[in-house]
Each structure stands twice: as C-alpha cells, then as structure tokens.
A and B are shown apart, each in its own frame.
Chain A
Amino acid sequence: MASGTLTTLALTAPVAVPALLAAGFALAEWRAGGPPHRGAPPGRPAPADWLGLLTPAAILAGAGRLAAEVHGTEGTFAHGRLLRADALTVWLLLTVGAVAALALAATPAHLAAERDAGRADARTGRRYHVLVQAFLAAMCLAVLAANLGVLWVAIEATTIVTAFLVGHRRTRNSVEAAWKYVVICSAGIALALLGIVLLYFAARQAGMSEALALDWPALAAHADRLDPAVTRLAIVLIVLGFGAKAGLVPLHAWLPDAHSQAPAPVSALMSGVLLAVSFTALLRCRTIADAALGPGFTRAVLLAVALLTLALAAALLLAQRDYKRMLAYSSMEHMSLIALGAAVGTPLALRASLLHIAGHGLAKTVAFCAAGRILQQEGTSRIAEVRGLLARSPALAAGFGMAVAALAGLPPFSLFASELGIVRAGFSAGLGWAVVPALVLVLVAFAGLGTRSAGMLLGDPGDRPTVRLGAAAGAPLLAGLAACAALGLAAGPLDGLLSDAAAVLTGS
C-alpha cells in the first residue's frame, strides 16, 4: 500500500507541484495588485525567483522513483487510467527535469538583469513565473498522460500558456511572433486532433470500449485490429499536427520567430524539451500505426519530413544574421535528426534518437541561456554587431562556444555519440541513401553554425567594455555543459532505462 501511494505521488508531483506554484504566484500577483514596485535591489535576484526550482526537484524526484518502478513492467498507472509511466515517460521526465532545472536556475539572474534594464518589474516577474510554471505543468501532463486525447489537450495548453511568454515585450516583433505562434501551432495541432479522432473511430469499430479506445497501452496492444485505410489517414494527420509543434515541415514557420522572441530561459524550455515532448507524442501514435500498417508507411512519411526539415534548416543556418534565430534553426536541424532516427525505427536507432533528445535539450538550454545573456549585455541579437566576446567576457563566451560545439556534434558531448548512433543504425537498416544526404546537410549546418559563432567570439573587441559573468548566471551554463559531456562519456547507469524506453516504442 505504502509503495502504491508513493508511486501515485511520483506520478502526480511533476504535474501538481508546478500547477500549485503557478496558482501561488497568481495569488501573490492578485494580492499585490496596486502599482508595481521593484522587487529586489539592483543587480540582485529576488528571493522569490528561486522558488521555481521546486518544480524540477519534484520532476526529478518523481522520475527517480518511477525509474525503479517501471523496469520490466508494462507501466504503472495513477488516478484510474489518467496518468501513466513507462520507461519512455521516465526518460522524458528526466530530460524535462534536467532542462527545467537549468532554465529555472538561470531565471533569477535573467530577471534581475531585465529589472535593472527597466524592461521588467516585480509584477511582470510574477506573471512570468505563473506562465512558466503553468507551462511546465502542461508539459509534464503531456509526458504522463495515458490517454491520447488528454495528451493532445496538454500539448495545446502549452501553446496557449507560452503565447504570452513569446509576446511578453509587446513590441511589433513580439506581437508578430506570438500571433504566428498561436495561429500556426493551434491550427497545425488541430490536425493532430483530427487524426486522434480518426484513430478513436477506428478503435471503436475494432470493438474497443469508449474508455479504452484512446488509452495508449490498450490501443498499442490491439492496434493490429484497426482498419488500415482509416489508420493511414490518421497517422498522416498526426505527423503533420504534432510535427507542427515539433518544428518539422511543413508547419514550422512559427519556430524561429517564437524561439527568438521568447525570454532566454523560456526559449530554452521550448526548444530543449517542448519540441521533443510533441515529437514523442507523434512516436507513440506511430507505434500504433505501425502495428496496423506495417513499418513501411510511417517510415516513408517520417523520412520525407526529416530530410526536408534538415535541408531547410541547413540552408537557413548558412545565411543567418541573428544568433537567437540561428539557435532556433539549429533546433530544427536536431529535431530532423531525431525524426531520421525514428524513421529508421530499429531499437538501436530509437535509442540514439532518445539520447539525442536529452543531449540536445541540455546543450540547447546552455546555448539559449548564454545567448540571452549576450543579448542583455550587447543589446543586439545581430551576429554582425557582436565581436570579440572571448576577450571581453571570457566565461560567457566560453559557455556559448562550448554549447555551440556540442550542438555541432563535437565530442565529448553526447550529441556526437547519438548522431553517430543514428547514422550507424541508418546504414545497417539499409537506409544509406537517406543517411548520406542527411550527413552532407549536417556538415552544411555545422559550417553555418561554426562560422557565425566564431565571428561573434573572436575578432577585435575594440573599445567595448569588459563584462563579468556572475556566479548565478554562470553556474547553470557550467552544469549543463558538464551534464551533456557526462552523458556522452558514460551513459552507464542510464543504459538500461534507454533500452527499455526504445523497447516501448518498438512495441516489444
């Protein structure tokens, strides 16, 4: 009994803790009312800004508890069949927890700098916390939901909550980015809802009960009975729909705008984990479709989407003039690599894709947090106007440079290992014809990313002032890089979990 309660708690906490924190911050905002006042002395983070770190603590603790629980089982449930965890859930929770820990640890310094620049006050700070915590609650619900309908509702909720974070500055750029973000993502993900409705129809026709016809484990177990023609239509809609939220073509146009306009820690969360969470939703539906259709159909669809996204991202990385947009296109590049691994679909490839999700999350979080710092310090996001950063702010420049090196796939960071894994799995599955052009495009992206970043870091600093990176801003960067490198050098203790997670998706 005690162990059952603990499991329920572990499943509930990742959603409940951020939801309660969001409510708490909302209450504080409502009670404070009145004219906005400065929350902390200049240059110092406000104490309340650190409260947000309770959420990643709850997520990581829950994931740790569930990791022991799910090994060798079909998954554990809580609250009827509402929340569910299997190895894949645990892997995603760990990634979300780690990325959230970094992003929220970087938040106090970010907000303090915004307050000092007069772009924020205590009030906007509290609103920021409400939205970020609600965003994390919705994202954790999407990871933990057993029901595909609830999963969809949670992912759409992330769009709604983050809209105001993207548009937080109310400038023309911000409003434009937020509008595009909500319209493209909501309309795109509506297609996924249509796909889920069609799956539900097929499942009901296959004799499943109303309660189980959207339940993922039940659907996966009975997927071979679904009507192939209806399932084919459904999975195409789902790939387009969840693909829109994952930054894959053809509905990707919101991504560079939203990721470049959001505050840096939010960009890190959106790029580092939200993309991966929606892509995993797609993968879960794909497991069902493959059981009904055989592996060929979704593989072809995913390959096409992955290669097109990769080509687009590589081309735009080459011509990029804005470093936050550069990081956004790099996210598209990495999502397409993850999709490529998923298209290959062997256990080895899925393992590499899942490792890539974690590695990309960590590296991209460091990159966005460093980029946010550079933006605050230099006052411009144009690559051409940032020069000689290494001479003026060595710690910040080193953090940004290492993160870009990690994103470019250099060892010892884990993205090197996972990209190698995806390529090897692709060749051994006989998909060399798709992997070779992908490799060429990755090299193009590498060149784009490398030359643009080198321009920012090196060069003549001129008479621009030297700026120190404080410990509060520096520690998350260092921790993220260390975690990313550790994951690349020795995934050891996580190996079993990773294999179990890949097995969940292959349905074995």
Chain B
Amino acid sequence: MTEALYTQLLDLACGAFLLAAVVVLWLRELTVVVRVLAVQGVALAAIPLLIGWYEDEAALLGISAGLALLRGGLLPYLLNRALTGPRDSEHRETRPLVNVAASLLTAALLTLLAYAVTRPLVALEATPATRALPVGFAVVLIGFFVLVTRRRAPSQVVGFLLLDNGITAIAFLAASGVPVIVELGVSFDVLLAVLVLHILTTRMRAAFGGTDLDELRELHD
C-alpha cells in the first residue's frame, strides 16, 4: 500500500468514525442509534487494520478482527436487548436536556477544542496516524456530552461506549495500540461494564417503571 492510499483510507475510516458520533447526537430513535454505534465500531476496527497492513504487523490484524466483533457486534447487540422495554416511549430519547440543533453546534465546538488540545501530540510526531488524533479526542468529548445531556438509561450507555471507542481510537492512532494484555483487559472491562449496566437497566424498570434518569432522585443531601 502506498503512503498516499494509506493516508486516504485512514482519513476515511476516521471520518466515518467521527461522523457516526455526530449522527448519534442527531438521532433520537434509540434502536437506530445502536445501529450507528455498530457502524462506528466497524470504522474503529478499520483503524488498526490499516495501520497493521501498512506497517506489516500481523498482530494488529487479529486485534482489528476482535474489535470488530466486540464493538461492531456484541456490544450493540447487548444494547439492543436492553431496549426491549414495555412502552414505546422507552425507545426514544424524548426530551434530551439539549435540543438537536444545539447538540450539533456543540459537537462542532468540541471538535475544534479537540484540535486545540491535541496540538502537542501531533507536534511530537507528525505521521498520518497522529494527524488524525483530534478525531479520537472529539469522539471522547462528544461521548461525555451525550453522557451528561441524555436522560434515558440506554442513552447514557451509548455515551459511555462513544467515550470508550474514542479512547481506543486514540491508542491506535498514537501508538499502534497499547500492549495486548492491556487491550484485552480493557475490552473485557468494557464488556462487563455494559453487562452490569444492562442488568441495572432491567432492575431500574422493575423499581421505577421506566428508564428515565430524572426519576433517580431518591438520594440527595
């Protein structure tokens, strides 16, 4: 693969990765959001695939396959199962704290912020991969934004996964991924965290009759 082609493909994957995060902000139908998240997982898996291909590192190809399975398949599947609520309103993010237009504007501002924050990283080593680092940071920031502005329990899980996808992308773009044992441990933790949140969502339905996080106000000072 020539460097020009590699750069183009990498930018394409990162573009799709960022776009998926922005589309999550735009959509309200949670089942569609989960599908977008699966697409983002595949875009994420493409990053180590391209880096491994370009740098002839077979291990990265294996990691890419594992990532595609986990982030593109298993986690969205689990999230989808958590959506099978009794009421139709459970499937929609009906009243986010920030409306769609303002959310998209915020995403643009967060992306600019990501470019500002990552300047020292790009300055340290300007390769095609590190130049794409702001994308990872932008997705992390958008993930945090989803986490604090959405009011349905499953939407918060989506925010958490965006955050985690962003960090994984940063690890691959900056340093071709962390050592395999750490990557395995992190993936395992993320999987378990999503499982725990899935179980807690079920219990929340049993205890509160829904997944509206505004109902969570029993504990305060």
> Which A residues form the contact surface with B (CB < 8 A)?
147, 149-150, 152-153, 156-157, 159-160, 163-164, 167, 170-173, 175-180, 182-183, 186-187, 190, 193-194, 196-198, 200-202, 204-205, 210-211, 213-214, 227, 229-230, 233, 256-257, 260-261, 316, 319-320, 325
Top 6 closest A-B pairs, CB basis? A149-B182, A153-B185, A229-B120, A201-B174, A176-B216, A156-B189
Known: A149-B181, A194-B170. A205 touches B124 (CB 8 A): yes
Give the dominant DSSP class at B's interface. Answer: helix
Q: Do B140 and A186 touch (CB < 8 A)? A: no
Q: Is the CB of B120 within 8 A of A197?
A: no
A194 near B185 (CB under 8 angstroms)? no
CA distance A319 to B221 in the complex (A): 8
In contact, A197 and B171 (Cβ under 8 angstroms)? yes
Bound together, the chains give a CA A325 to CA B120 distance in angstroms of 43
Excluding A160-B192, A179-B153, 18 further A-B contacts by CB distance (< 8 Å) are A149-B182, A153-B188, A157-B192, A163-B200, A172-B218, A176-B218, A182-B193, A183-B197, A190-B164, A194-B167, A197-B178, A198-B174, A200-B171, A205-B125, A210-B179, A214-B179, A227-B120, A316-B221
Write the nearest CB–CB distance from A250 to chain B, whole angstroms: 12
* A201 adjacent to B200 (CB under 8 Å): no
B203 touches A190 (CB 8 A): no
Is B207 located at the chain interface by the 8 A CB criterion?
yes
CB within 8 Å for A150 and B185 given contacts A179-B153, A194-B140 = yes
Contact B179 A149 (CB under 8 A): yes
Contact A167 B203 (CB under 8 A): yes
Q: From residue A218, how far is it (CB to closest CB) to chain B in Å?
A: 13
Is B208 an interface residue, CB under 8 A from the partner?
Answer: yes
Q: For chain B, residues 178 to 221, give those with C-beta under 8 angstroms from any C-beta of chain A.
A: 178-179, 181-182, 185-186, 188-189, 192-193, 196-197, 199-200, 203-204, 206-208, 213, 216-219, 221
The residue of chain B having its C-beta at the shortest distance from the C-beta of A164 within the complex is B196
Are the CB atoms of A320 and B221 closer together than 8 Å? yes
User: Within 8 Å of chain A (Cβ to Cβ): is B147?
Assistant: yes
- B200–A182 CB distance below 8 A: yes
- Across the interface, A149 reaches (CB within 8 A) one of B185, B207, B217, namely B185
Would you give the shortest CB distance from B171 to chain A, in whole angstroms?
5
Q: How many angstroms from the CA of A205 to the CA of B123 in the assembled complex?
A: 12
Q: Is B178 a contact partner of A200 (Cβ separation < 8 A)?
A: yes
- Contact among B120, B204, B206 with A233 in the assembled complex (CB-CB below 8 Å): B120
Known A-B contacts A149-B185, A150-B185, A153-B186; A200 and B175 likewise in contact (beta carbons under 8 Å): yes
How far apart are B134's CB and chain A's nearest CB, in angstroms?
13
| A233 to B196 alpha-carbon distance, docked (Å) | 31
Q: Can you give 27 A-B contacts (C-beta < 8 A)? A: A147-B182, A149-B179, A150-B181, A150-B185, A152-B185, A156-B193, A160-B189, A164-B196, A172-B208, A175-B203, A175-B204, A175-B208, A176-B219, A177-B219, A178-B200, A179-B197, A182-B197, A190-B163, A194-B170, A198-B170, A198-B174, A201-B175, A210-B179, A229-B123, A233-B121, A256-B219, A325-B221
Q: Is the interface of A mostly helix, strand, loop or mixed?
A: helix
Chain A min CB distance to B97 (Å): 15
Once the chains are docked, how many angstroms separate the CA of A164 from the CA of B213?
19
Within 8 A of A (CB), among B114-170: 117, 120-121, 123-125, 140, 144, 147, 153, 156, 159-160, 163-164, 167, 170
Are A187 and B160 within 8 A (Cβ)?
yes
Chain B residues with CB under 8 Å of chain A are: 117, 120-121, 123-125, 140, 144, 147, 153, 156, 159-160, 163-164, 167, 170-171, 174-175, 178-179, 181-182, 185-186, 188-189, 192-193, 196-197, 199-200, 203-204, 206-208, 213, 216-219, 221
Please give the distance in Å from B43's CB to the nearest CB on chain A. Answer: 19
* Bound form: Cα–Cα A266–B186 in Å: 25
A322 vs chain B, min Cβ distance (A): 8
A258 to chain B: closest residue by CB = B219
* B164 partner residues in chain A, CB cutoff 8 A: 190
CA distance A182 to B182 in the complex (A): 21
Closest to A227 in B: B124
Which chain B residue has the least Cβ–Cβ distance from A232? Answer: B120
B219 adjacent to A173 (CB under 8 Å): yes
Within the assembled complex, what's the spacing in Å between the Cα atoms of A38 and B124? 64
Chain A nearest Cβ from B7, distance in angstroms: 20
Verify B175–A204 contact, CB threshold 8 A.
yes
Q: Please state if A183 and B147 are interface contacts (CB–CB under 8 Å).
A: yes
Distance between B177 CB and nearest chain A CB, rounded to angstroms = 9
Closest to B130 in A: A201
Residue of B nearest to A163 (CB): B196
In the bound complex, residues from chain A placing their C-beta under 8 Å from that of B186 are 149, 152-153, 156, 193
CB distance from B61 to the nearest CB of A (A): 17
Q: Which of A194, A196, A233 counts the most chain B CB atoms within 10 A?
A: A194
